[in-house]
Structure 1
Amino acid sequence: MSGVVRDQDVDIDLGQLVRAVWARRLRILTITLVGAGIAFAGAKIISPQYRSETRILIEPRAPAFATTQQVNDAGAGPLMDELNIASQVQLLQSADLLKKVINDLKLYDLPEFDDAANGSAMSSILVKLHLKKNPMENPPEERVIDAFVERLQVYQVPGSRVIGINFTSKDPKLAAAIPNAMANVYLSTQSSAKLDSNSEATRWLEPEIESLRRKVSEAEKKVAEYRTTHGLLQTNGTTTFPAQQLNDISAELTRVRGDKANAEARAQAVRNALSSGEAFDTLPDIMSSQAIQRLKGTESGLQSQISDLQTSLLNSHPRLKSLRAQLADIRGQIRQETQKILASIENESKVADLRARELERQSDTAQANSARAGEDEVGLNALEREANAQRQLLETYLVRYREAASRADSNSSPADARIVSRAIEPVDPYFPKVLPIVVVAAVATLILSAIVTMLAELFSGRALRPLGTSRETIEADTIIEEMDVPQAAPAVATARMPAQPSMLALVADDDEKDPTEGEEAAEVAPEDGNEFSVASVADYLTGSRAPLAIAISPTGDNGSAATVLLTRMLADAGRRVILVDMTGSGCPTQLMAEDEAALGVTDLLCGAAAFGDTIHGDRLSDAHLIPQGRSDVRRAMRGVDRLSLLLDALAAAYDLVVVECGAADVAGVSRLTHSRNVEIILSLPQLEETIFVALMTEFQAAGYERVVLMSDGQADEQEFGRAA
């Protein structure tokens, strides 16, 4: 404000700055409109610039008539990496390509590109005096290329193989024609380069192919002569005759050895049956003989006759004796036939043994021949490898020659790129953008006008005010105004809540101030030894580092009166302390405020008062007070969760902030603070053990470790008397 005394501590009055800007709002608005009008006129005067873009995709391509193999080979080629794409970007900006575009479109005839064609009089004088080179001596495309490059932008689209070509011009048709022309020239150049490469490839491949054909023929002839000389005739595609012969002998030897073992096993089975007298019915070699089968039939018939006659004749009967003699003769014949079968089987075993010996001898001979053939195959394999290598190289050259020749003959070889987006004639100019320019100019003018107004207020001294005891909280005022706190409400709960069974010891000091001496606080030293007295709690809070103390008064106004006495004691001890009245009855406001209807917490939270207007001095001490306020408490409580911002702002300006909550609960206290760095004061002038234990239990369960009991039976009576 004006009239600030020299050498007096001052601070900036933000409210005055805002009021000054508001008072000059018409002037600021007029200046803003003028600035916007100037920007609009300037934007309209500037010649419009149009921009258009063509995009090219870099990818391998093959002719449409290419065979499947050729297409696969082209598609299997390595995709272009970042360096290749960057190289194509530089190629699009090469001087040769730009000159071709300039000549094709005859850009040197346009004044936009060739300023030298319409040179000024001063330039002509300098040329005649030989102080400047005549620009017309240069080729037309050389004069245009600098202006062309300034308007051209070629870039790679990030994360892709797409190249963008931007061009800016005063003519929208030209802005679209030039990028398209550059893309066409680029594709034509790339296609011509590939055709030249194909022609060069065919010229180089023709003599190489003829030479390879002679080499392949000579190599194959050497392979055939070597096979004939060393007898390495092939029985199939991979095996020679000695190796095939050895394989056949080995297979036959294995089969003969199996037959021999089988014959020996069969002969042994027959011998065992003959020696043991067992029946021959189980031997397949014996049962398969037709003679044995006939004898077995006769034997069975004789046994049947003997069995029938024994029922009617005696054993000594001639008929039975004759039948038994015939049966014995048949059995003898069966044994003789069995001996013949055994001899036949033994002969098979002997023949198999002789065959196996012969095959073993042939196998040894074949192995020796195969070993010699293996040594000869070493040289043969070397000749075949050489012939195969020459043949594969010849086939590769032939394929490449056919591809190159077909492309060269057809005069068609697409470039490894294609246009994915052609430039179109733009409708709106790229520059200037009238609306954004006007908006930016208007905003900039508005901000500059407001800053100039604020600086004028500061230099005149009207926005400065002296620092005093009633303005200790200007730092908090600034924080609250910037945070838009007036949407919160006090977390006040009128219901009595339980406490905790434990309490923390206090650093007690029996010194206590006499509350009956008005504004002069005379110290008294109570000798009652009460470590929970108001004076002891004040002494404890003086040594505490916590910036916030929450006072709970479960029994009502007598506890609030004790909190008021505690606040005054802290102020008399030289601490900057403020009490926030968040009780339902407004007892602290009645005891401390000069005017009980002063603006307070509810007015601040409802937006009815500024932060600085809610801070008042205590009528009996140096403490400060934020009263209850005059606004509707229900409306203020809608933003209860933001009230902690108010307490943080006050803690930045005061040594200690005491919040008298009345009969609040733990949930309400938790919503006042973000952290647990807070002192909880249980104000119980008349100690009630049940209430105290319940409160201590609740706060300890909620995580508040520092819970202090303040119990002084005479505190409330003294405070009410002091207020009177």
Structure 2
Amino acid sequence: MNQPHSPMADERVELDLPALLGALRRSVKWLAPLTIGCAALTFVGLQLAPSYYRADSKILIEGSEAVYPGENRGVEEERALLDEEGVASQVQLLTSRDLSRRVAKRLDLAAIPEFEAESGGLVSGVLSMLGIKRDSGFVSPEERVLEVYYDNLKVYRVEGSRVIAVEFSAQAPELAANVSNSIVEEYLDLQAAAKRQSTEFAAAALEPQIKRLREDVTAAQKRVETYRANNDLLLGADNQTLSQQQLGELSTQLSEARAARTEAEAKARLIRELLNSGGSLETASDVLNSQLIQRLRERQVALQSQIAELSTTLLPNHPRIRALNSQLADFDRQIRGEARKIMIGLENDAKIAAGRVASLSEELEQLKGKAVESAENQAKLRELEREAATKSAQLEQMMQRFREADTRRNAEFLAADARVISRASVPLEPYWPKVLPTTILVALAAFILGTAWVIMREFLSGGALNRVSYGGPEFSEAGRDPRRGTDDRPAIASQPETQSEQGAIGAEHPAGTMENADLPLEPKKAIAHNVTVAPALHTNAPTAAIAQEERNENHRRVAVLSVDSDEVAQAVTFRLARQAAEEGKLPLFLEVRPDMDDPQAVPGFAELLDGSASFAGVIYRDPSSRAHVIEAGQRAIDDELTMNGRFDLVLEAIDHTYDQVFFDLGLIDDSLISAQILSLADMVVVATGGSPAGPELEAALTMLEEHTGAPVTVESADPKAASGKGRSSDMAA
């Protein structure tokens, strides 16, 4: 059986555009004169109003170039002048009251009629009595001039630059230009005067400080010299103290004495070894350097030559040869004796050097002790020297600053930190009043306000609204949606067809299905953002007769079940939903598993029934088509959950959102929710795995035909197998 709709007629309020346009046409007879009258009054009033001229000067804030010593400023001072806050400070200076008084006095603005004090009339007197406005009698003429002055003055920083614009408005064009240029000139003069004043103040403040620092530097240097003399820290050559120089000289002498001792001992040791071993004394340089040994050696060589000559004629035992050999041996003894004397002399030199080493070492130790004692004095002296150097550097710095300040003080001209880049010229045309644009704007505003008043009146009186009723005989034609062709279902109020796809689901999310349509659905958790369900529960429902006709022709609710397995029913349901999507419809795949109890599953139809989830959290998008998917859920759908009253509300919302709903009931069972869905189905599909029809399938088909009253077809999970076989009521078992 199909679910009946309420037979009561519903009403919807719509905008009656023809009635609204008619009201506007009827209002033209007074709206047009009103618009023309306002424009005429504005035009005449602006013709009588005084004209105002505006002139502007522009100055650029920049650091002044150094035209005399001491003008250079630091990086931080330059940045503080040229940043956004610095330019804003210069804007405030241009609008200061001191500068304004100088301009007013320079141009004698009090004598100009435009700046004269006004009596104010009756209105000003009343406002003064109420305390809203000050009484002009208690305001000085200068204040009244400044009040008019500030009303016509506008100073602002040009966006994105360091340029400041000074605009002044006046009834006389020459006055506007003069005041604007005078403001800039007085500003530059004021800056130069401020620089000169600060320079004089700095120079006057530095003079006593310099005098005091000079005395401090002299006293500090005197303390250094006195301490140096009292503690024997006088400087010698190379900026070293006397004790340091003596210590260095003794160290050098001690090193030389040690070297001489070592050398003498080594030479004496060598000669002793040559004498003891009978070696040749000619290898010792000190022996060879002796003149006596050299003469003895010469005579020895001469005897050896004579013996060699006589040996050619005389025998070795000849008396003459024996006498010469005796003389030669005597020379050899003399040479060795002389070498022994040289050795003894070297040993004596070594002893003398050793004594000198001991003496120098003792003296060096004494000087070291004195050096240790003078270390504290030297540290104190360095501290006094640092203090004197610090005071000297401070004095030099102050002297430099004083010289710079004195140079600026004596300079005939001080450049300001700004320059004029555009002087005000006499304006040729007034900037106010703009007669034609203002007249057009007033006329347009009067027309818009009048039109708005007419529209508001029509809405408040109800003349712009029209109530449309549904459920009567006229609805069968008027309720037909031309976008659906022959579909006689009424269109959902303020819900176009695109909203059924985007209003119900604001964002596409994977439905957790496999990519192959013939495979069962594998649930995956998805996060839905900005998903809203269309307000189908608040729309007008069709009558029972129209709903019945829609079900018979379009099969909006298709229930799919199987006598084989849940996977077969799921595969067939997905194929049917995607086929409907290819035909241009917006289908919904709704999985119903009464006995399913899986806390790990994603929320679905069961959560919609118990109210723990919304449509935004359970609707997903099939990635292979434009079909939407609602899975079974996490809990079992028992009889109590089925009868809690939310089933009808959920199903009605789905009917108003989707063109076709495919219920996946899985394996056929006797649950209450399955029976209720079958009773509301427009078509029942029995899914098979492709096997030949058996007794179970025939019994299921017979039972479904008897209890549902809807056409029953058989679909195979294999898309290549025969499908869509109908079964009539007289189908044989």
Task: Give TM-score, length-normalised by structure 2.
Answer: 0.53
Amino acid at match of 1:8: D
The equivalent residue for 2:496 is: 477
Q: Does 1:57 align with 2:93?
A: no
Change (3 A) 1:153 1:207: same
Shift of 1:100: 1.0
What secondary structure does 1:150 align onto?
A: helix
The answer to whether the 8 A contact 1:246-1:363 is kept is yes
The equivalent residue for 1:589 is: none
The equivalent residue for 2:546 is: none
Shift of 1:258: 3.9
Change (3 A) 1:503 1:209: closer
Q: Equivalences for 1:595-606 in 2 at 5 Å?
A: none
CA distance in 2, matches of 1:105, 1:372: 82
Amino acid at match of 2:164: G
Q: Equivalences for 1:103-114 in 2 at 5 Å?
A: 103-110=105-112, 112=114, 114=115
Change (3 A) 1:387 1:280: same
Change (3 A) 1:461 1:198: closer
CA distance in 2, matches of 1:40, 1:286: 142
Q: Equivalences for 1:186-585 in 2 at 5 Å?
A: 186-210=187-211, 212-214=213-215, 216-217=217-218, 220-221=221-222, 223-225=224-226, 227-228=228-229, 231-236=232-237, 238-265=239-266, 267-268=268-269, 339=340, 342-343=343-344, 345-370=346-371, 373=374, 384=385, 387-388=388-389, 391-415=392-416, 417-419=417-419, 421-425=421-425, 459-461=463-465, 466=470, 468=479, 470-477=489-496, 502-504=519-521, 529=563, 550-552=577-579
The answer to whether the 8 A contact 1:49-1:432 is kept is no
Shift of 1:299: 9.9
* Worse-superposed segment, 185-194 or 341-350: 341-350
Unaligned runs of 5+ in 2: 1-6, 472-478, 480-487, 503-514, 524-548, 591-622, 630-652, 663-684, 692-715
Change (3 A) 1:481 1:505: closer
C-alpha offsets along residues 329-364 of structure 1, whole Å, 9 cap, x if unaligned?
887777666656655544443343233233233334
The answer to whether the 8 A contact 1:684-1:709 is kept is no
The equivalent residue for 1:167 is: 167
What secondary structure does 1:192 align onto?
A: helix
The answer to whether the 8 A contact 1:21-1:450 is kept is no
C-alpha offsets along residues 54-102 of structure 1, whole Å, 9 cap, x if unaligned?
344264x575121xxx355656757428776665544433211111122
CA distance in 1, matches of 2:452, 2:501: 18
Q: 1:99 aligns with which of 90, 98, 101?
A: 101
C-alpha offsets along residues 485-504 of structure 1, whole Å, 9 cap, x if unaligned?
xxxxxxxxxxxxx9577434
Amino acid at match of 2:250: I
CA distance in 1, matches of 2:366, 2:353: 20
Change (3 A) 1:142 1:291: farther
Amino acid at match of 2:496: D
Change (3 A) 1:223 1:502: closer
CA distance in 1, matches of 2:296, 2:242: 54
Change (3 A) 1:716 1:378: closer
CA distance in 1, matches of 2:230, 2:154: 74
Change (3 A) 1:645 1:372: same
The answer to whether the 8 A contact 2:224-2:381 is kept is yes
Identity %: 28
Amino acid at match of 2:242: F
Amino acid at match of 1:529: V
Change (3 A) 1:657 1:387: same
The answer to whether the 8 A contact 1:233-1:241 is kept is yes
C-alpha offsets along residues 128-151 of structure 1, whole Å, 9 cap, x if unaligned?
x9x998847855431122233234
CA distance in 1, matches of 2:77, 2:385: 31
The answer to whether the 8 A contact 2:23-2:454 is kept is no
What secondary structure does 1:353 align onto?
A: helix
What secondary structure does 1:410 align onto?
A: coil
Task: Give TM-score, length-normalised by structure 1.
Answer: 0.53
The answer to whether the 8 A contact 2:572-2:717 is kept is no
CA distance in 1, matches of 2:424, 2:362: 92
The answer to whether the 8 A contact 1:234-1:240 is kept is yes
Amino acid at match of 1:362: E
Amino acid at match of 1:100: R
Amino acid at match of 1:92: L
Unaligned runs of 5+ in 1: 484-497, 507-514, 542-547, 554-558, 571-640, 661-682, 690-707
The equivalent residue for 2:11 is: 9
Amino acid at match of 2:58: T
Change (3 A) 1:251 1:9: farther
Amino acid at match of 1:257: R
Change (3 A) 1:106 1:341: farther
Q: Does 1:116 align with 2:117?
A: yes
Shift of 1:182: 2.9
The answer to whether the 8 A contact 1:295-1:330 is kept is yes
Change (3 A) 1:199 1:313: same
Change (3 A) 1:193 1:243: same
